[in-house]
Amino acid sequence: MPVRLRGVAKTFGALRAVDGVDLDLNEGEVTALLGENGAGKSTLMKLLYGVHRPDAGSIEIDGDPAGASSPRDALARGIGMVFQNFTLFPALSVYENLLLSWPVAPWASTRRRAEVTEHLRALAPGIDPGRRVAELSVGERQLVEIARVLNSRARRVILDEPTAVLTPAETEHLYGLIRALAAEGRAIVLITHKMADVAACADQVVVMRRGKVVDRGLIAGRSADQLVRAMVGAEGVGDSSSRPLAGGTPRLTVEGLCAGKLRDATFEIAAGEILGIAGIAGNGQQELAEALAGVIAPESGSAQLDGSDVLRRDAGQLPDPRVGYVPEQPRENGVAEALSVTVNLALRRLAGMRAFPDWHAEERQARALMDRFDVNPREPRRAAGALSGGNLQKLVIARELSEVPGLAIACYPTMGLDVAATHAVYQRLYALAAEGACVLWFSEDLDELIAHAHRVAVLYSGRLAGVLPREHATRQAIGNLMSGRTADAA
Amino acid sequence: MMRTTAAVIAASLCFVAVASAFFLVIGRPPLTMLGRMAVYAFGDLYSISETLVKATPVLMCALAIIVPARLGLVSVGADGQLYFGALLGTAVMIAGAGSPGWWMLPATLLAAAAGGGAWGMAAGALKSRLGIHETISTLLLNFIALLLVNHFVYGAWRDPANLGWPSTIPFPDQAKMPSLLETRVHAGLLLALLLAAAGYAWLVRSRKGVEMDLLRENRKVGEMVGLSYGRNVLLAMGVGGAIAGVAGICEAAAIQGRLQPGLSAGYGLTGFLVAWLSGRSFLWAVPISLLIGGLGTAGDALQMFAKIPASSAVVLQGLLFATALAIAAAARRWSPHHG
């Protein structure tokens, strides 16, 4: 018997996160749960997985109308969930992580090792179970998470925005995997807001907006436009404006920059230019971004903005006010989750504030920024950690890029954002460039870079493998550089 | 605040229940005993004054823990800071004993604050420079400070007039906190209350408080916006230590009259528990310290008048902490989630 949700509702404070949703999950079927950030997709699935209890409605699992009382209970009934924020222990090995959640007695033995890593070997033959999770890329971690859920014999697997953190190749691999898992008779729920995910592997699609289901049905016979419109509502998506032209003289000059994995990076960005940085995660992107943002002190090299140094030379130095920095994974690197939205929006000015700041004025300012960057819900006193991933990303962008900096560094700024919010990010980056800022844009979405950057640079094992002007920046050329070949290799 | 109040009421009721059970087990009528305890702790001016005397060092030690806790540091070093502060304060007293004057009280207080602060900053420096966990270093520094005090009072500073009893010469009146209402309560109590209020003002609405909150919650982001973790660790440990140092000199000068072994009756550890019970709140630490002081006074009185063993007071204190921590944890658990 499948899983049936009827009239399920959940309210957090004044927020109706899920509002009377019906949903059936059938074996062998992939259901795409589509919606904007904060539409209630994750909350709905957390209700099914037993993280929260519904306020109203019923969740029937295999004919039992009681629903799952806890994630442990959900696992026992064959429901597994892979979260957006991974739940692995970074200090332990892949094998140890899998062993920890192995449903029967977790004693290690050679035979057990083969058993525990069986799903992992099928999913990702390239991952050595002896490696520490901390050394894995986000894509690899996700595969371990999925292996762990499969180990629990889950017959229904919920994937929360699984492609948000993956490279194009990893995404393709995951699509194949999802189809294969469904073909083995599992019910798969794919929480997403990417049309590509829906088109690639869903059987039925359920579109949510503001806690309600606004559209549902088989994927066949629905166009992407139709789904986007259902997802964002009547206001729709604006048309994307054309790429502004790059200015002339270089404003940012980076020479021989070395920091950690990053080796000898030399490049220039002109005023008003968007330089895209592509590359597989872990090839020096983080070091490049953090060195230019003044988070880490580089080992050698120089970086000059308008002729003066932007690099940090010693700890405790104030951040360069000319640099706006949107870090990768803002939940970990960009905010203090327990502190209020107001405080998080004021962080850059904190060190320069007077001893007893006027928090009421800060709150008004925060509210204005939230209006301007559409951060929801508009509750500046709420802890930043309570915001959804997309709204958290908007918060960091509002803090770092609300004024026009000399250099804007954006690391995966659209990761986890829905169509409308992604569009808003593009608009913001364009506006910054139009006003003469240098924009350094890291992305794993090649199409995004090809469409929006003036030039695309590729990092490969810590070095700039090449910088392609837009007319030569094709998927093929970038892909070649990303895998260590020359741009024009066949 | 509503939730905290409800939790405090629930904790009190639970404590009454388990304390009653304890009295039943040792064969005493629970209600009578509890009633007597309340009278012994808060029943007349003398009881209240003794309660306040006990609450004063506990409150200061709790504050000494709460300040570094704002930064996420788990210090257990209030006792060591108390001892080392008392040691330095006493050194100033001994140096000036020949010609005591009005300057003696401020000078000993400052020396004690500097001593306690230095003791705290020692652990802070170990943390910020070498990454040594502050809980371990403060714990070990406690032993060193206590043994240093013993070293001096058994040795160089021993008062020969005191017939072999290990202690320093008595503090002159000029080195003592003025007493209040002609009881043993001294102005240190007012200072402790003032420090609690100042701590609240300093760390709840100020920029510094937010800086510490930020470094506690996400050190990487804090450093990204130009804050120094190391400097804040030194500051928090230093301020906390200074408060504990003042507690030490007040206790030695005003209460015991001399520096002698056993200066602290576990005030540091009790203060630590008060700090954690109060949820690291400067304001809640005040009533909880008073309650602990009252429990101590009532325990002494029960021992004298009701002939129950001295250890009963310790058992009751333990029961109070255990129930309060359980209720606090339950209150957190039952608070609604935000998703």
Cβ neighbour number for residue A57 with a 10 Å cutoff: 18
Distance CA A449, CA A97 (A): 35
How many angstroms separate the Cα of A207 from the Cα of each of A29, A216, A326, B101? Answer: 16, 6, 30, 82
Q: Which helix (H) or strand (E) holds A209?
A: strand A204-209
**B234: chain A residues, CB-CB within 8 Å:** none
Question: CB contact, 8 Å: A351 with chain B?
Answer: yes
Distance CA A320, CA A313 (A): 12
Q: Where are the domains of chain A?
A: 3-232, 250-482
**B227: chain A residues, CB-CB within 8 Å:** 316, 350-351
Type of residue found at B180: L
Question: CB contact, 8 Å: A333 with chain B?
Answer: yes
CB contact under 8 A, A382 and B338: yes
Going residue by residue through chain B (339 aa), what tens digit of pLDDT does each one get? Answer: 566 677 778 888 888 899 899 989 988 888 888 888 888 888 888 889 989 999 999 999 999 999 999 999 999 999 999 999 999 999 999 998 888 888 989 999 999 999 999 999 999 999 999 989 999 999 999 999 999 999 999 888 888 887 778 888 888 888 888 888 778 888 889 999 999 999 998 877 889 999 999 999 999 899 888 888 999 999 999 999 999 999 999 999 888 888 988 888 889 999 998 998 888 889 989 998 998 888 888 888 888 887 888 788 788 888 888 888 888 788 777 654 433
CB contact under 8 A, A356 and B207: yes
Torsion (CA) A353, A359, A360, A361 in degrees, nearest 10 = 20
The residues in A 289-308 lying below 8 A from B, measured between CB atoms, are 293-295
**A17: chain B residues, CB-CB within 8 Å:** 339
Nearest to A350 among B217, B225, B338 (CB): B225
Structure tokens, A167? 């490279």
Q: Which residues of B touch A (CB under 8 A)?
A: 205-208, 210-211, 213-214, 217-218, 220-228, 230-231, 336-339
Give per-residue pLDDT as tens, A95-142.
888 888 776 666 666 777 777 888 888 877 888 888 998 888 777 888
Distance CA A39, CA A52 (A): 16
Q: Where are the domains of chain B?
A: 60-286
The string over A245-277, giving b where at least 16 C-beta atoms fall within 10 Å of a residue's C-beta and e elsewhere, is ebbeeebbebeebbbebbbebebbbbbbbbbbb
The string over A454-466, giving b where at least 16 C-beta atoms fall within 10 Å of a residue's C-beta and e elsewhere, is bbbbbbbebbbbb
CA angle B324, B327, B330 (to 5 degrees): 150
- Please name which of B297, B291, B280 lies closest in space to residue B320, comparing C-alpha atoms: B291
Distance CA B126, CA B230 (A): 10
Minimum Cα–Cα distance from B232: chain A residue: A316
Options 3.40.630.40, 3.60.21.10, 3.40.50.300, 3.40.30.10; CATH for A3-232 is 3.40.50.300
Q: If you count DSSP H runs as helices and E runs as strands, how many of each does chain B have, helices first?
A: 13, 0
Nearest to B205 among A317, A336, A356 (CB): A356
Query: What is the CATH code of the structural domain delimited by A250-482?
Result: 3.40.50.300
Domains A3-232 and A250-482 are alike in CATH topology: yes
Minimal C-alpha gap between B231 and chain A (Å) = 9
Distance CA A331, CA A338 (A): 11
Minimum Cα–Cα distance from A10: chain B residue: B339
ipTM score: 0.79
Cβ neighbour number for residue B9 with a 10 Å cutoff: 11
Minimum Cα–Cα distance from A359: chain B residue: B205
**B230: chain A residues, CB-CB within 8 Å:** 316
Question: CB contact, 8 Å: A196 with chain B?
Answer: no
Question: CB contact, 8 Å: A399 with chain B?
Answer: no
How many angstroms separate the Cα of B59 from the Cα of each of A288, B13, B62? Answer: 49, 23, 5
Residue B173 is given by DSSP the state G
Torsion (CA) B225, B226, B231, B237 in degrees, nearest 10 = -10
Distance CA A473, CA A433 (A): 19
* Mean pLDDT, rounded, for A202-228: 82
- Give B69's strand partners: none
CB contact under 8 A, A348 and B231: no
Torsion (CA) A87, A92, A93, A96 in degrees, nearest 10 = -80
Nearest to B228 among A316, A359, A383 (CB): A316
